[in-house]
Amino acid sequence: MAEINKAPRGTNDVTPEQSYKWQFVEQKLIETAGLYGFKEIRVPVFEHTEVFIKNVGDTTDVVQKEMYTFTDKGDRSITLRPEFTAGVMRSIVEHSLTAGALPVKVCYLGGCYRYEKPQAGRLREFHQFGVECIGAASPIADAEVIAMANQLLSDIGIKKISLEINSIGCPTCRAEYHKALKAYFEGKKEELCGTCNERLERNPMRILDCKSPVCSAIAKEAPVVTDFLCDDCKAHFEAVKSYLSAMNVEYTVNPRIVRGLDYYNRTVFEFVSGDIGAQSTVCGGGRYDGLLGNMGGQDQPGLGFAMGVERLLMVLESQNVEIPSGKPCDIYIAPMGDAAALKAAVLCSQLREEGFEALTDIVGRGLKAQMRYANKIGARFTLVLGDSEIESGKAKLKCMENGEETEVDINALPDALYSATFAALADSINI
């Protein structure tokens, strides 16, 4: 029987103590992507299974082994999104977004689902942030998207990460490469795993991405794709590299990156961290010029990337990057008695209208227990409200950091809290 006090294997909760980290990272990502003109797109968590088979490719691990697929009550085959690009392409076609201003620049953020063996950095529900740029074939677009990924990583606070790039050519030059690969792997057929034997017939490049130690050892000696690029692909790759250098984006060329999905062509890249163990790829992306046409849309070039939010947070943690924590409660009002409770509720709503986080007792605690609670949640100010305070209209506002008390007019509490907050701030930075 399933345990009802335990989240399903490979899923994580984000507790209230941790959520500020997610909010910080998510806000930064969307904000920085906005500087490059990317606007958020939201697509369903599930799509018709065919959307992923057609886009991700039926020779990939994702489609062959990892999808959460089920038949719904209307007898449709439905799949929880293992990634976003396929659904985003479907949406771009459905809403004819390419009929508007080109390039179409969209970014996304949300959960993805893959039936994988859970381990550090590998979950069954994980979160991706990513972008897609549709309608730009020029190498400047590749460089801009890679430079943006680089800036996103540094804006959230990552101190050190390496960028590896490669070109996997176009369908024309890749045909030659496939022949060479096939010839090489044919000679090692007996040693390759069962899945790779199938890949050998249908898509030998996939073998380079196999996680089995035997296959990856064999793949190390395989011919490299950069030796087979046609003149156009070579020129494109050289231009991407020179733009990156001009923009001071450091990279190394790694001819073994092929990326896990079927739809890439020309530029592919990964950001890899040495700080988080075996699941070290934080961001992966590349160009996928045929994809939109393949989905029945306008034939437009495209490129993009996706980063795993959990892995980003793991890098931040291992590099001891401090994430600004959420703002503490501005004021806790501790009422004594029914009349005071009513007044406290009114004062809190006035304060909230002014943008303060204002809390009061909603569980019926005594004064002592209320003050303990205010301490526990780290309230910056407290104010005790009894009958005499209500009568005189005056109460003591206490700064919890330095213990100072100021008499304030409770009928102008928002103003008093503004001044007290400012005075405490000035005090803490010694103005």
CB of 200 to ligand ATP, least distance (A): 20
Nearer to ligand ATP, 143 or 312 (CB): 312
Nearer to ligand ATP, 79 or 281 (CB): 281
Nearer to ligand ATP, 48 or 122 (CB): 122
Nearer to ligand ATP, 81 or 311 (CB): 311
CB of 336 to ligand ATP, least distance (A): 51
> If you search the block for the tokens 């939201």, which residue do you land on?
42
Q: How many CB atoms are closer than 10 A to CB 181? A: 23
407 closest CA partner among 388, 425, 429, 426: 388
Helix spans in 121-259 (H) = 139-155, 171-186, 194-202, 213-220, 231-246
Residue whose CB is nearest to ligand ATP in the complex, by number: 308
CB of 12 to ligand ATP, least distance (A): 10
CB of 421 to ligand ATP, least distance (A): 40
Asked whether the beta carbons of 156 and 314 are under 8 A apart, the reply is: no
Give the DSSP H/E element, type plus range, for residue 252: strand 252-253
CB of 398 to ligand ATP, least distance (A): 46
Bridge partners (DSSP) listed for residue 40: 107
Residues that bind ligand ATP (CB under 6 A): 83, 114, 116, 121-123, 126, 128, 260, 279, 281-284, 306-308, 310-311
One-letter amino acid of 10: G
Nearer to ligand ATP, 204 or 308 (CB): 308
What whole-number distance in Å separates Cα of residue 353 and Cα of residue 330?
A: 13
CB of 425 to ligand ATP, least distance (A): 39
CB of 124 to ligand ATP, least distance (A): 7
CB of 207 to ligand ATP, least distance (A): 14
Q: Cis link prior to 328 (omega < 30° from 0)?
A: no
253 closest CA partner among 274, 235, 267: 267
Nearer to ligand ATP, 86 or 329 (CB): 86
What whole-number distance in Å separates Cα of residue 20 and Cα of residue 16?
A: 8
Q: Which two structure tokens, joined as six digits, stand for 217?
A: 């050892």
What value, to the nearest 5°, has the Cα angle with vertex 401 and ends 24 and 316? 25
Nearer to ligand ATP, 135 or 284 (CB): 284
What's the longest Cα–Cα distance across the chain? 94
CB of 211 to ligand ATP, least distance (A): 8
**239: Cβ–Cβ under 8 A, 6 or more apart, which residues?**
139, 140
Give the DSSP H/E element, type plus range, for residue 85: helix 85-94
Q: Which DSSP letter does residue 264 get?
A: -
Nearer to ligand ATP, 174 or 311 (CB): 311
Nearer to ligand ATP, 87 or 121 (CB): 121
